[in-house]
Amino acid sequence: MIGFVEGIIEYIDVDKVVVNNNGVGYNVFMPASQIDTLNVDETVRVFTYLNVREDAMQLFGFLTRDDLEVFKLLITVNGIGPKGGLAVLSTITTDDLRVAVISEDAKAISKAPGIGAKTAQKVIIELKDKLNLEDVLEPKLDANFQVNDNNSMSEAVMALVALGYSQADAYRAVKSIDNIEELDVENVIKMALKKIY
């Protein structure tokens, strides 16, 4: 119903912000990790999910469409509602969640408040076929981001996996390399190998 809300941040709370859009203040629940990046009087566009219950209508918001799509997948998992999905995405990023699901790292998921080991396993089982590592490796299409045709990152991760490293370790090592777009695949692999050890 409401695809996004764009306006000025009037107020910031622990788990939500109030976005003023033409004189109407929208309470938008957001991951704590994203709230920390925002400031009062800043103009923001928040991609939203409207949760309708018998006793409440709540807006959940995210700074990117990708975060919103992952949130929508998360809340399809039995036992995780919107508040649980928000707790997970407050604890780990969407990219780290993809890596955790693909590498079956239940510990990383269960760090979220209210998410136990069994629920974390459910997340892995139910989302393993719906999330993929390529989404992490592709440059995010964002208004503020210049898209680059460099495939060094994905090729390096695949090479490290072929060498026997887990996808999670390979991804983390490659992601931590500065100025990766300026390097060829061979140098990315060499630098990533130093970071894995």
Q: Is the pLDDT of residue 39 over 90?
A: yes
pLDDT at 182: 81
Name every residue whose Cβ is closer than 8 Å to that of residue 186 and which is 6 or more positions away in sequence.
Answer: none
Q: Where along the chain do the CATH 2.40.50.140 domains lie?
A: 4-62
Q: Residue 185 above 90 pLDDT?
A: no
Q: Does residue 133 register a pLDDT over 70?
A: no
More confident residue, 148 or 76: 76
User: Which pLDDT belongs to residue 12?
Assistant: 95
Per the prediction, the chain carries an average pLDDT of 84
Residues of the chain with CATH 1.10.8: 148-196
Top CATH class of 148-196 equals: mainly alpha
More confident residue, 124 or 164: 124
Q: Is the pLDDT of residue 13 over 90?
A: yes
Q: What is the mean pLDDT of residues 82-100?
A: 89
The predicted-structure confidence for 108-122, as pLDDT tens digits, reads as follows: 898 888 888 899 999
3-state secondary structure of 46: strand
- So what's the pLDDT on residue 196? 78
Tell me, what DSSP letter sits at residue 139? P
Higher pLDDT, 19 or 56: 19
Indicate if the pLDDT at residue 142 is higher than 50: no
User: CATH topology for 67-133?
Assistant: DNA polymerase; domain 1 (1.10.150)
* pLDDT tens digits, 48-90: 999 998 998 999 999 999 999 999 999 999 889 999 999 999 9
Q: Examine the pLDDT at 137 and tell me if it is beyond 60.
A: no
Provide the 8-state DSSP code for 9. Answer: E
Residues 6 or more apart whose CB falls under 8 angstroms from that of 25 comprise 10, 11, 18, 19
pLDDT(20) > 90 = yes
Range list for CATH 1.10.150.20 in the chain: 67-133
Q: Which two tokens stand for residue 122?
A: 């459910």
* Torsion angles phi and psi, residue 4, rounded to 5: -160, 160
Instruction: Name the band, by pLDDT with cuts 50, 70 and 90, for residue 197.
Output: low
Q: Which pairs count as long-range contacts for 45-48, CB under 8 Å and 24+ apart, including other chains?
A: 45/4, 45/5, 45/6, 46/4, 46/5, 46/6, 46/17, 46/19, 47/3, 47/4, 48/2, 48/3, 48/4, 48/5
Fold of 4-62: OB fold (Dihydrolipoamide Acetyltransferase, E2P) (2.40.50)
